[in-house]
Amino acid sequence: MPDASPTVRQRELGLRLRKIRTSRGLTVEEVADKLMCSAAKVSRLETGARRPVLRDIRELCELYSLDEATTSEFMRLTRQAREQGWWTQYEDLDLYPYIGLEQEATSITHYSMYYVPALLQTETYAREIIRAVLPRIAPDVHDQRAQARLRRQERLDDDNPPRYRVLLDEAVLRRPVGGGDAMAGQLKKILDLVQAGKVTVQVIPFEAGACAAADSMFVLLEFAGPLLRPVVFVEGLGGDHYYERSTDIERYREAVEHLRDAALNPQKSVQFMTDVLKSYADG
């Protein structure tokens, strides 16, 4: 895919390099020794945590005795991984890897019990949330983050948008971020997106009681193709976490199923959100 996200191409390259290394019966340490670099460097290349360098990839291709066609393909992937995604123009975004994954995901499942997910936010709501999380944020950085958040939403208008599913705790709808008018506008936007078929939203009402959620917010991203494994993203003040191990993915898939069981079905969720919208509109 010529316009694929650099982040995804970086992951794909790393996964393929790891597969070849293991097929050759080599350890990370052995490869590092042959290339005269650290094992951490090789490991970070394979996990997609390190931006690849053309010279390093060519040396790996030579070490693995790859044929000319495969080498050319790996060099192409490296060049694509080194391209700049639109989000890199924002100097203080802090979500570079995540946005790259979001841009390429074919399925996105988002659970939140505190705030409306970024892809559904109005500009007013987005600005309120950003400032609430970072009260001392500089005005120019505040503007950048709000602009980037709105631009991310263009993903839902793509020719091939992701299958987007959102599980919202009732608290998200009841918390008056920005006041009643702002929340009425926010709920209207969500309902419009549901009506347009761009998202499926299920509300988990308070009456459902305790829910089997692994975190207060997580996103399960899934991709086309056998090489690109699912990723779970968990955002927090202490740092962002990405989980790719099959055991972790299975744990979060199970959490999603339990949350869906606790949630209202999509039709009842629309009615629930409509009622909450009316309560805000009525003051």
Q: Please state, as a whole number, how many other Cβ atoms lie within 10 Å of the Cβ of residue 225.
A: 10
Please compute the mean of the pLDDT values over residues 118-122 and round it to a whole number: 97
**Residue with the two structure tokens 């503007």:** 143
For the whole model, what pTM was predicted? 0.75
Cα first-last separation, the chain: 49
pLDDT at residue number 213? 67
CA atoms within a 13 Å half-sphere pointing along the CA-CB vector of 107: 12
Mean pLDDT of 10-36: 87
Average pLDDT estimate for 201-221: 85
CA distance 16 to 219: 25
pLDDT at 5: 65
> What are the sequence ranges of the domains in the chain?
6-81, 91-281
For domain 6-81, say whether CATH 2.40.50.140 is its number: no
In this prediction, residue 80 carries a pLDDT of: 78
Q: Average pLDDT, stretch 16-36? A: 89
* CA nearest to 44, candidates 17, 19, 20: 17
Distance, in Å, from the CA atom of 180 to the CA atom of 277, rounded to the nearest integer, reads: 9
Mean pLDDT of 55-59: 90
pLDDT band at 77 (very low <50, low <70, confident <90, very high): confident
pLDDT band at 73 (very low <50, low <70, confident <90, very high): confident
Correct CATH for 91-281 of 3.30.200, 1.20.1730, 3.30.870, 1.10.155? 3.30.870
User: What does the pLDDT look like over 172-183, one tens digit per residue?
Assistant: 999 999 999 999
Res. 91 pLDDT band, cuts 50 70 90: low
119: exposed, middle or buried (Cβ count in 10 Å: 0-12, 13-18, 19+)? buried
Model confidence at 265: pLDDT above 80: yes
* Contact of 183 with 177, CB cutoff 8 Å: yes
E-assigned strands of the chain?
Answer: 107-112, 163-169, 200-204, 217-222, 231-234, 241-243
How high is the pLDDT of residue 97? 74
- The yes-or-no verdict on residue 1 having pLDDT over 80 is no
138 CB-contact burial (10 Å; exposed 0-12 / middle 13-18 / buried 19+): exposed
